[in-house]
Each structure stands twice: as structure tokens, then as C-alpha cells.
Amino acid sequence: MDINLNKWHRCKVDRATFSKLCEKSNWQGSKHICIYFLSLFIFGYLAYYSWGTWWSILWFLIYGNIYACSNPIWHETGHRTAFKTNLLNDIFYQIGSFMNNFEPTRWRWSHFHHHSYTLSTKDPYDYEIQVTKPTDLLFIVIHILPFGKLFFLHRFQQFETLKHALGITTDVMKECIPEKQRGKCRVIARIHVSIWLLVIFAAIFYKSWLPILYILLPAHYGNSLFEIFGITQHAGLLNNCKDHRLSTRDVYLNPVFSFLYWHMEYHIEHHMFPTVPSYNLSKLHVLIKDQIPPSKIGLWDAYKEIIPAIIKQSKNPNYQINITLPKSSKL
């Protein structure tokens, strides 16, 4: 794979300042992880305390949406920028991957592929993008609803993990995972499947839905908030172009959403400079914002652009949003 970002457009940043922004911090990573899991524990406890009442539905919905926002934990630790200590990155990468039903070996390599070939619809193919087909409008709408992913089993992450556990070589495995790493992918997939079965057996043994509600289903009934965040990254933007300003979107979020998303709303900066930890992306944004398209002011501003675009793409897969670049910035 070719991840030489020098072949992509890069905004100008002072070298000394950039080196400072690339510095990792165990404190920043630990602070985020502690607040995140404390929040998860609090709402999980409220759901348990109110079990059997209507209040439990509310607390489980909040718990589930926080749980699904473990996706940025997988992502940031996968880049090994969450912590200065790589052991901590690797531990929480495994935890975050399991929570999101991601087999970690597959996603480490497919995400590397995603950064190498962002929004590439040709060979090589970016396996993390939304493919523009007539059915995708329905897919995107249903995908953000609780349990919506279950309507598209062929795109179901757990279904793919099950195939890997059974020894099936999928297209993403062929394209993204080096042959020497495929055995590791299958072994970890089997560990994930074994844990799922243990949770199901525990639920049956204790005659309780709680193990399933706390471990297996949160990423499905609580998927809405993170999916709303995630769609803003690339939806409707230019495919097959080596300029992240045209294929990626920045959105300003409120502090709570920004925390849950682990600052990935600065997505142009992340793709252009993936070695910068997420907690420094806002500082990087200040330095280059005059070289990139204007950021969207909140989710509503982003979706005012995205919704018409995906409707048009459902009819014309070649349609893409026309992005205006700063006049002083060259391709």
C-alpha cells in the first residue's frame, strides 16, 4: 500500500509548530478514557437501577449511544495517537474494537487503506466509504435508526467477523490485510465470537436480558448519535481525488459532542496530518483554516449540504458537492 501523503495536497504549517502538535500525551488519553468509562458506568447503573420501569429505556438509550461512541477510542488508539505509551494504545484498541464489533486486525489494515486511498471507488478501493448506489439513500437513513444495521446483513460487521472466524477469505481481507496477518485476523475473530456466545449463554443461564443489553446490543440500539457524526466525514464529497479538502468535511461541534467524537470533527486535519493526536486537531485547525473550505457550523449546517447531495446521488451516482477552495490556496 502507498500511504505517501506527499502525493496528496498538504496545507502549509510551520515545521517546529507541527512537531509540537504531534507530541502524544498519556494524560490526555487517560483523561478521555476515564471520563468516557465513568459516564458509561453512571448511565449503565441508572439503567440497572430503573430496570422494570419506563425510565430504564431512557437510560439504556443514553448508555447505548455513549457505548457506540467507543468507536473513536478504536480509531484514535488504532492510529496510536491516543497515548504516548503504545501498550496503552494497543490495549484500548482491542477494547474499543470489541465494543464496536470490529475485528481489530481487519480494521487496522482497512483503515490504513482508507487513509491511503480516501474515497477511492476504483482499484484500489476504499472499503470504509459509503458506495453511491440507488439503494444507499435507504441504507443511510435506516443505518442511523436503532437496530437499523440489522436490515443490511451483507454489510453487518458481526456477520463479517463470523465469516472470518469460519475461515472465509473476504474481499476486504484479500485487498487490505497482508497474508501473514490473516491468520491473526481469524484467531481474534474466533475470540470475539466466543465472547458473544458466552454472553448469550450467561443471559440464558441467569434468565436475564441484561448481559445482552449491556454487551452485545448497545452498538445497535445506541448507534444513532455516532452514525450522525460519522456520515459528516465524507458524505457527498469528491471521489478519486488526492486532496482531502475536496473529499473530507470539518464540522464545529458543541463540547459534549466533540468529546464523544474525540475531536474527529476536524476531519480534514486528521486525514491530511494523521500523526497529530485528536486532542491537538483544534490547534492545527486554527493554523490552516484559511487554507481549507469553511467548516460547517454544527450538525444541522452539515446536513443541509449532505441531505440534498445523497438524494441527488441516489439518482446520479456521479454527482458530488462542489467545494469552493480559498482563493489563495492552490491545488
The reported pLDDT for the residue numbered 30 is 97
Confidence (pTM): 0.89
Cell matching residue 28: 490526555
pLDDT in tens, 308-320: 998 888 888 788 8
pLDDT in tens, 260-276: 999 999 999 999 999 99
The whole-chain average pLDDT of the chain stands at 88
Query: What is the 3-state secondary structure of the chain?
Result: CCCCHHHCCCCCCCHHHHHHHCCCCHHHHHHHHHHHHHHHHHHHHHHHHCCCCCHHHHHHHHHHHHHHCCHHHHHHHHCCCCCCCHHHHHHHHHHHHHHCCCCHHHHHHHHHHHHHCCCCCCCCCCCCCCCCCCCHHHHHHHHCCCCHHHHCHHHCHHHHHHHHHCCCCCHHHHHHCCHHHHHHHHHHHHHHHHHHHHHHHHHHHHCCCHHHHHHHCHHHHCCHHHHHHHHCCCCCCCCCCCCHHHHCCEEECCHHHHHHCCCCCEHHHHHHCCCCCHHHHHHHHHHHHHHCCCCEEHHHHHHHHHHHHHHHHHHCCCCCCCCCCCCCCCC
The reported pLDDT for the residue numbered 329 is 56
Q: Do 204 and 136 contact (CB within 8 A), yes or no?
A: no
Q: What are phi and psi of 93, to 5 degrees?
A: -65, -45
List C-alpha distances in Å: 289 to 13, 199, 250, 303, 307: 11, 47, 10, 21, 25
The reported pLDDT for the residue numbered 54 is 95
pLDDT tier at 210, thresholds 50, 70, 90: very high
What average pLDDT score do residues 227-238 get? 89
pLDDT of 113 > 80? The answer is: no
pLDDT tier at 1, thresholds 50, 70, 90: very low
pLDDT in tens, 83-107: 999 999 999 999 999 998 889 998 8
